Amino acid sequence: MRKTRIKTISVMLRLSFATHRDILYGISSYAKTHHWRLHLINLTDFTEAKLKDMIAMDASDGYIISDCESVAVRNFLLRTRRPIVMFGPRDERLCGKRTAPTAFVDENQFEIGQFAARYLLSLGRFRSFGFVPHVRHNYCSDARERGFCDQLAALGK
């Protein structure tokens, strides 16, 4: 009987976000049945210096990462020949320069904003609506706001 090689996958998520904890749960469930050993890196409390040291010592078979805001991480991802799955919008800086497999998983942020507007409308008669953006006005927040406002405008609100 052939022995299945256990793969080590580095998972880099911001565990302060509930969404990322949910993602980790799904990855963990998959890992149990596919002979993966997970190396978890919580990006919430990592500094650029700690991250550089950790990446230099890492010998993973692949990476699953939540974003690429860190310059050190982005540079590492450009150099590695290991497969990467990235949660978030497609990063053209990585796509054009990497030769190893790279996949992006993203939600339709615009549609999430539209859904939120429809949900609020289904609750009853409101005279006004508001959207509170993320303090950094990131891609997700901006796209959700556009979807929210567009949906309300389309319905005459």
- Residue-wise pLDDT for 40-90, tens only, equals 888 777 666 766 666 666 678 998 988 766 777 777 788 888 898 988 777
Q: What percent of the chain has pLDDT over 70?
A: 88
Q: For the purposes of burial, counting CB atoms within 10 Å of the CB of 83, is it exposed (0-12), middle (13-18) or buried (19 or more)?
A: middle
- Pick from 6, 11, 12, 14: nearest CA to 38: 11
Asked if pLDDT for residue 26 goes beyond 90, the answer is yes
Confidence of residue 123 (pLDDT cuts 50, 70, 90): very high
Retrieve residue 26's tokens: 């799904």
Q: 42: part of which helix (H) or strand (E)?
A: strand 36-42
Alpha carbon distance 98, 80 (integer Å): 8
Alpha carbon distance 29, 31 (integer Å): 5
Q: Would you give the distance in Å from CA 95 to the centre of its chain?
A: 16
- Greater pLDDT, 128 or 71: 128
Quick one: average pLDDT of 104-127?
A: 90
Confidence of residue 110 (pLDDT cuts 50, 70, 90): very high
Asked if pLDDT for residue 145 goes beyond 90, the answer is yes
Bridge partners of residue 36, in order along the sequence: 7
- Greater pLDDT, 68 or 148: 148
Mean pLDDT over the full length of the chain: 84
Return the pLDDT at 144.
92
Asked if pLDDT for residue 3 goes beyond 80, the answer is no
pTM assigned to the model: 0.75
How many CB atoms within 10 Å of residue 4? 8
Q: 31: part of which helix (H) or strand (E)?
A: helix 18-33
Asked if pLDDT for residue 101 goes beyond 80, the answer is yes
Are 28 and 37 within 8 A, CB to CB?
no
